[in-house]
Structure 1
């Protein structure tokens, strides 16, 4: 493997560069979550409309990944990453001054270009190491990038209370500029076998479609992350409207799930090589199922307290942190020569499913429904992830890989 030299754009990037790139996408996803109720008041819009700032971002992320992956296989990881962050910076600047909720939602669509940080970080890792090592490194990368979403809602809630929702977007803008500079200075090209054409690379999708393991890993990743994305869509309503939390308090409680996610990422990075990706996926998903079931039980027993929601989601976060790095490593390793395309397509399925679950969780939440629509969506998503993992294990056994 080529020697990594910090801030040398002719060598593969340092892992902290990949953390910064992936973390910017995470910040754009959840930094402003505590501001959603306040944004509804500012724009005089229904909460369901304002909540589209989450679900539309996720949907746009899913669609963009279909192009980002193949584009990086054709033109290289470095130029695609830089272009994507430039679009993110411009759209974030425009969002700060959006006069209507419609224009803000349009800016959120273009902010989704930050997804290149997550997509290409996985592909860059797979460019340089094997499957189990990739799962380990992806685990460490996601563990590092959880620092951003861990403190993001906390800072976002405080900024919202002090200066209004625009302050959270101003912080996003600063993070985007920093990420662009770091990538420019440190990201060396790792794609040494570029495809002949963009359309030719997209035509390789059928090869991925024919792979049962690709579908197994992709569906496992989609349902695993679906529980978290459902929480992103419905959590602010449950926390602020049903449990009476302030934006800053919501941000503090939100740190519980990201601490769990960071712990899960650490365990993935530490043990993936020894245990294997399939067993790590199964372990993490079973933990997430147990976490959501516990939350349902606590509310059913009458414990309407923030810890009844956020306490069990610690285990949802930990389960996701254990299983997602392995699922993503499996996605990009089914066809190593199509790592970028596989990362983009798999990411699109993962984020697209998450966007749908985010809308579903938010659509059925009312003051009368209580938190149960959100919790049942999270439980069923985690349960489907377990089923998908068993399917991957079954296919692997048929192929004589276990």
Structure 2
């Protein structure tokens, strides 16, 4: 199968879906599954939990840097080689983390693992290469749904690995999964190189081309704002449920399982809607649910005592909205520059990464009233995203009228 081929057989489609979902899982694994092992890591390296948290920050920086290079480079030399190389580097980094007893070396190997994990940004480019039309939209819905489920299951998986294999367990399992994905990618993907002349643009020119396009940036911002609502909840949920509501780790894990189930129902709803309404209408529907979630959260915060239900109910509504809006916006953005899909995926992932990190950090600065702050955040972000979507629609209508006028004049 050659990269860039959008028509695939049913057998090839199943292989591609399996590969992409495995990449989604590996993208979640190095961060979320490791969280329950923080105390054990701190004890092993004789460091504070804050020092161990630094490894998470460095990991995030490493991924951000790597994906900025990997996307455009994949447009020039192909996806397969970079994906295999990235998996190999991430495995070496994970093994280094297991073997070292020195904290500084541990940080270096974590950065190495992160640089390799930057290759997972290619999942969106591979969707663009291997599928077309509704298949792309449905696969992106599936990937968003799977991401939510994997994140929700991570605390339980991390706690199990910590209890059975210690803090090294997550690194061993990551290495084993990476090896399996490497074999699957080697067997499934072709080593074909892009033939489009646009694929050979320099890094700066390629990024300038996509980031100067209003529609491209706007769709990725819509996707980023929807993601930020989900990500902010994940970041501050331990503060709400364990610090403020005094739930046990087990109870907190069960709540996240319910949150993961909401992704399943949201994915089903998104799939049904994708067959009945267009992408812009899907975006409006999803963002409207996020707006409703914000209003419900504010109402519950003002009129009821804080409880797991008053936080979780609006989050379930928000989850449905996120699962509907994000895939539709991502598909619209990725369709604009299919000849440089790697650059498009890297630029979009960076926008999502920056927005999610900044917004969640701002929300966490108000620990005394996290529920209300989260509600205001949902209302504000969904409102801005709806305005962007409306602006895109207006620009499209203006361009269509101009094209008709120009054709009539000719």
The normalised TM-score by structure 1 is 0.84
Q: In structure 2, what is the Cα distance between the partners aligned to 1:17 and 1:196?
A: 27
Q: Which residue of 2 aligns with 1:66?
A: 68
Q: Which residue of 2 aligns with 1:385?
A: 385
Deviations along 1:294-313, one digit per CA (max 9) or x if unpaired, are: 23433333432223323322
Structure 1 residue 214: Cα displacement = 0.5
Q: Which residue of 2 aligns with 1:259?
A: 261
Q: In structure 1, what is the Cα distance between the partners aligned to 2:72 and 2:36?
A: 35
Rg bigger for which structure?
A: 2
Matched, 1:142 2:152: no
Q: In structure 1, what is the Cα distance between the partners aligned to 2:211 and 2:369?
A: 39
Q: Against the structure 1 CA distance between its residues 369 and 140, is the aligned structure 2 distance closer, same or farther, given a 3 Å change threshold?
A: closer
Q: Which residue of 2 aligns with 1:297?
A: 299
Q: Which residue of 1 aligns with 2:406?
A: none
Deviations along 1:194-221, one digit per CA (max 9) or x if unpaired, are: 6588662541222213321101111111
Coordinate RMSD, CA, aligned: 3.2
Deviations along 1:243-277, one digit per CA (max 9) or x if unpaired, are: 22333332221123332223323333343254121
Deviations along 1:351-399, one digit per CA (max 9) or x if unpaired, are: 121122233333x154x45544455445533443333322332333333
Whether the 8 Å contact between 1:131 and 1:329 is mirrored in structure 2 is: no
Whether the 8 Å contact between 1:263 and 1:321 is mirrored in structure 2 is: no
Give unpaired runs (5+ residues) of structure 2. 1-5, 402-410
Q: In structure 1, what is the Cα distance between the partners aligned to 2:126 and 2:261?
A: 26
Deviations along 1:144-203, one digit per CA (max 9) or x if unpaired, are: 454433422222234345665443343333332332222222233575426588662541
Q: Which residue of 1 aligns with 2:212?
A: 210
Q: Which residue of 2 aligns with 1:283?
A: 285
Q: In structure 1, what is the Cα distance between the partners aligned to 2:251 and 2:118?
A: 28
Q: In structure 1, what is the Cα distance between the partners aligned to 2:348 and 2:62?
A: 14
Q: Which residue of 2 aligns with 1:272?
A: 274
Structure 1 residue 76: Cα displacement = 0.6
Q: In structure 1, what is the Cα distance between the partners aligned to 2:363 and 2:243?
A: 15
Q: How many residues align?
A: 394
Q: Within 5 A, what are the aligned runs for 1:29-178?
A: 29-35=31-37, 44-45=47-48, 50-51=52-53, 53-54=55-56, 56-96=58-98, 106-112=108-114, 113-117=116-120, 119-160=121-162, 164-178=166-180
Q: Alignment partner of 1:303: what SS? A: coil
Which structure features the higher share of helix residues?
A: 2
Give unpaired runs (5+ residues) of structure 1. none
The normalised TM-score by structure 2 is 0.82
Structure 1 residue 292: Cα displacement = 3.3
Q: Against the structure 1 CA distance between its residues 338 and 248, is the aligned structure 2 distance closer, same or farther, given a 3 Å change threshold?
A: same
Q: In structure 1, what is the Cα distance between the partners aligned to 2:53 and 2:227?
A: 18
Deviations along 1:97-135, one digit per CA (max 9) or x if unpaired, are: 565776655544444332433x32221221244455422
Structure possessing the higher relative contact order (Cα contacts under 8 Å, 6 or more residues apart) = 1
Q: Alignment partner of 1:148: what SS? A: helix
Whether the 8 Å contact between 2:199 and 2:340 is mirrored in structure 1 is: no
Q: In structure 2, what is the Cα distance between the partners aligned to 1:246 and 1:102?
A: 33
Q: Against the structure 1 CA distance between its residues 162 and 289, is the aligned structure 2 distance closer, same or farther, given a 3 Å change threshold?
A: farther
Whether the 8 Å contact between 2:304 and 2:310 is mirrored in structure 1 is: no
